A and B are shown apart, each in its own frame.
Chain A
Amino acid sequence: MTVALTSSNIKADAPSPGAPDGARQQRLRTSFDVLRLPLLGRFLRWRYSRMLLQSCVLLLSLVMIGHAFWGPQLAPKNLAALLTWVHFRGLVVIVILLAGNLFCMACPFMLPREIARRIHAPRWDWPQKLRNKWPAIILFAMVLFAYELFDLFSDPWWTGALIVAYFALAAITDVLFRRASFCKYVCPVGQFNFVCSTMSPLEVAVRDRDVCGNCATKDCIRGVHQEATSSKDAFTKGALPLVQRGCELDLFQPRKRGNLDCTFCLDCVYACPHDNVGILTRLPAEELAYEGTRSGIGTPERRFDFTALTIVFAFGALLNAFAMISPVYAAERWIADVTGLRTEWPILAAIFALALVIEPALLLGAAASLTRFFSRSDTPLLSIINRYIRSLIPIGFGVWLAHYGFHFFTGLLTVIPVAQNAAKSTGTAWLGQPQWQLGGLPETVVYPLELGFMSLGLIGSWMIAWSIASQRSSNRIALRFAPWAALHLLLYVSAVWIMNQPMDMRGTFLGG
């Protein structure tokens, strides 16, 4: 029997007499529901909680932008560089690991977009041909490339310019195109968060699927429109003003699986007339074992753009960490000697092409070929890769977590003296004199954390690969699993090797 893991803690109630098995399934999630918590739950259910969170982050973003352009241009003394590359990145992955995609929930780019939409309502739908992850994948790779090429880590001015560009791109996209086009199709940070949040312990999901089965309005996706005041209004209800949005990312709650494409905006929670949507606990990575159609996404196993996104996510994790250590310079010098090139960008482009295209193609092709050989099937290699690619997400997440966690934990308290220094520059030291001695956790503590995160990532990848290998047949599972397990181990060993290299200047505040 083929069984895929589905949503967690689903209780099958006693069947009602006379009803057919499939129809009488009562699917009720008994997981812990964050929205039921006394204080936090009440706050999150408050309609303006998201706007409050966004306002706080927007205010912080404005301070960062100001400091980026008018503050000190030494990265370790600048709030924009420090908060963006040390604290924000670290917090994003740690919060996703411990809770969920809360950064998208508090995303500061959405407030200016909302204001802009009040001035100019969007009139177009996002082009059909671009309704995939390719625009975001290209931007994701470009951000990684620009980060290395321009040493954004050590450049507050360009970091500020990047933040401003991000605000502008979000506002322009969503002023022109309806629904959450920027979040779903353009935002590279969003795609990164979506993929990471498959590892989260929380998920926005329905509490009782039977309630959805009997729901006539589907407000969770359609939104709540103003009450009709006449029979004519009732006839054209869809044209009445929207008082509460439904899911702008096209995730229909009863058919939603996991966290892919979910921004935790909670619009579905506010829209549901039956109070049937919660923030429920589940097993991290559980959704990766699920194979099949998901609302708003289709079937990821048949979408090569999802495969490409996962490749950039997993191999990009290694590349991003590799670029902060000394051997990257040796590689650059070697390419320069061989090709005679004297400018950095084509050399860096060659390293990116090697790490994000050639290496994945060879490794994934080899693993898929072996799986096909052991399965004695004639399935196309690309189909096998598309099925197994999601097993790379846990190890990729582990590497991101180790890398960003390292910067975050070792520089945890540095925000205090930098903020004190920024306050001092206004004329009075109203936050006190800068306490420059404040740093973070010692490396002796952070290093085992890095190893632990990556080891958990490896074990997660193995579990998912085993699950995929056992989904279609109970024969030769170990043989089908082995090539992917070897690939995961190879990525793990590479990551451990990278984390054991002396960090070069590029990986520090002072990199130049």
Chain B
Amino acid sequence: MAETTNLTTLRLLARAFAILIGGSVGFLSNSTSRAHEGPPFPVLMDQSLAGRTVSLWADPDIGEATFYVIVEGDDVKQEQSEPTVSLWTEPVSGRLERVAYATQPHPQRNHLQYEAHPVFDKRDTWRVGVTLATDNGTTETITAEVESTPPGMGAWDLAIYLFPFALLGVAWIIAMARRRIALQRHIPIEHPRSIAASSHSGASAIPGECE
């Protein structure tokens, strides 16, 4: 009776797991626009620009991307006014016009951080320019190339990557069910106190026991 129950459990859970993995692949492959966007990565690091140290971090997702311009320097917090930072993008192929974007400043500890949200229409290589203007009239631009992040994976990619997990899941279910069956067949219910009874000293003699 118990063995039948366990086999039914096994079949039920294995079936549920297969449906789960299949459903996930089907659902998620149809929602590519919602693909998880990862952390920004450095495009330019510690470049000298208009007397400041500038870094550019990008999260170049198709649609609305996010770029962070980090301005560092010993005197950056003491300045009377923050430098003005702007950002522009254009496809390297020249198929679209250059578009400029304003940035929002976010002062941080010992550095300034600017955020911009350019729009990428499709997967392509883009030239990105960062222009920094200071109070004393210095204006300099630095450029870099970035590939916009492709959309999420198709059903087959997901299925391939999830296949090892499906195998693991099924193996885990089988192992747990077999363990239960084996225990039901061979091992009587073991109460922890039976060990205490068979030992030379009782439970109360064990320091720290709180049963």
Taking Cβ atoms with an 8 Å cutoff, the residues of A that contact B are 1-6, 8, 10, 12, 21-23, 25, 27, 72-74, 76, 131, 154-155, 157, 179, 209, 212-216, 218, 221-222, 246-247, 249-250, 252, 254-255, 257, 283-286, 289, 292-299, 406-407, 410-411, 417, 434, 436-437, 439, 443-453, 455-456, 458-460, 462-463, 466-467, 470, 474, 477, 496, 499-503, 505, 507-510, 512
> CA A250 – CA B173 in complex, angstroms?
33
Whether B24 pairs with A474 at a CB distance below 8 angstroms is no
> CA A298 – CA B34 in complex, angstroms?
46
Whether B28 pairs with A455 at a CB distance below 8 angstroms is no
Whether A23 pairs with B198 at a CB distance below 8 angstroms is yes
Nearest-CB residue, chain A, relative to B61: A502
B102 contacts which chain A residues (CB < 8 A)? Answer: none
Cβ of B99 within 8 Å of any chain A Cβ, yes or no, is no
> CA A446 – CA B168 in complex, angstroms?
17
Cβ of B141 within 8 Å of any chain A Cβ, yes or no, is no
> CA A330 – CA B204 in complex, angstroms?
56
A293 contacts which chain B residues (CB < 8 A)? Answer: 192-193, 211
Q: Nearest chain B CB to A384's CB is how many angstroms away?
A: 20
> CA A406 – CA B192 in complex, angstroms?
41
Give the residues from 96 to 141 in chain B that come closer than 8 angstroms, CB to CB, to chain A.
106, 108-111, 113, 115
- Supply 19 A–B pairs (Cβ within 8 Å), ascending by A: A12-B187, A74-B55, A76-B42, A213-B199, A216-B200, A218-B199, A252-B208, A289-B176, A436-B42, A436-B45, A447-B35, A447-B36, A448-B165, A449-B161, A455-B24, A463-B172, A467-B180, A500-B28, A508-B39
Whether B210 pairs with A212 at a CB distance below 8 angstroms is no
Contact with A along B1-20 (1 / 0, CB 8 A): 11001000100010011001
Whether A470 pairs with B195 at a CB distance below 8 angstroms is no
Cβ of B190 within 8 Å of any chain A Cβ, yes or no, is yes
Q: Nearest chain B CB to A462's CB is how many angstroms away?
A: 6
A283 contacts which chain B residues (CB < 8 A)? Answer: 172, 175-176, 179
A443 contacts which chain B residues (CB < 8 A)? Answer: 35-38, 149
**Beyond A499-B36, A500-B34, is A447–B152 a contact (Cβ under 8 Å)?**
yes
Whether A221 pairs with B207 at a CB distance below 8 angstroms is yes
Q: Nearest chain B CB to A274's CB is how many angstroms away?
A: 13
**Beyond A466-B13, A496-B24, is A8–B207 a contact (Cβ under 8 Å)?**
no
B110 contacts which chain A residues (CB < 8 A)? Answer: 72-74
Whether B179 pairs with A286 at a CB distance below 8 angstroms is yes
> CA A445 – CA B152 in complex, angstroms?
10
Cβ of B48 within 8 Å of any chain A Cβ, yes or no, is no
Q: Nearest chain B CB to A408's CB is how many angstroms away?
A: 11
Whether A509 pairs with B106 at a CB distance below 8 angstroms is no
**Beyond A6-B183, A8-B179, is A157–B169 a contact (Cβ under 8 Å)?**
no
Whether A295 pairs with B35 at a CB distance below 8 angstroms is no
> CA A421 – CA B9 in complex, angstroms?
55
Whether B34 pairs with A510 at a CB distance below 8 angstroms is no
> CA A254 – CA B192 in complex, angstroms?
8
A502 contacts which chain B residues (CB < 8 A)? Answer: 37, 61
Name the one of B35, B68, B109, B183 contacting A157, with C-beta atoms under 8 angstroms: B109
Whether A470 pairs with B5 at a CB distance below 8 angstroms is yes
B179 contacts which chain A residues (CB < 8 A)? Answer: 5, 8, 283, 286
Cβ of B209 within 8 Å of any chain A Cβ, yes or no, is yes
> CA A301 – CA B13 in complex, angstroms?
25
Cβ of B95 within 8 Å of any chain A Cβ, yes or no, is no
B46 contacts which chain A residues (CB < 8 A)? Answer: 434
> CA A503 – CA B149 in complex, angstroms?
14
> CA A417 – CA B9 in complex, angstroms?
50
Q: Besides the contacts A212-B195, A459-B13, A470-B9, what 7 more A-B pairs have beta carbons closer than 8 Å?
A: A74-B72, A213-B199, A222-B207, A250-B208, A456-B172, A477-B5, A496-B28
Whether A3 pairs with B180 at a CB distance below 8 angstroms is yes
> CA A216 – CA B35 in complex, angstroms?
61
> CA A446 – CA B169 in complex, angstroms?
18
Q: Nearest chain B CB to A465's CB is how many angstroms away?
A: 10
**Beyond A410-B39, A447-B36, A451-B28, is A255–B5 a contact (Cβ under 8 Å)?**
no
Nearest-CB residue, chain B, relative to A247: B208
A246 contacts which chain B residues (CB < 8 A)? Answer: 207
> CA A439 – CA B157 in complex, angstroms?
22
Contact with A along B154-169 (1 / 0, CB 8 A): 0001100110110011
Whether A131 pairs with B210 at a CB distance below 8 angstroms is yes
Q: Nearest chain B CB to A342's CB is how many angstroms away?
A: 19
Give the residues from 174 to 191 in chain B that come closer than 8 angstroms, CB to CB, to chain A.
175-176, 179-180, 183-184, 186-191
Whether A460 pairs with B108 at a CB distance below 8 angstroms is no
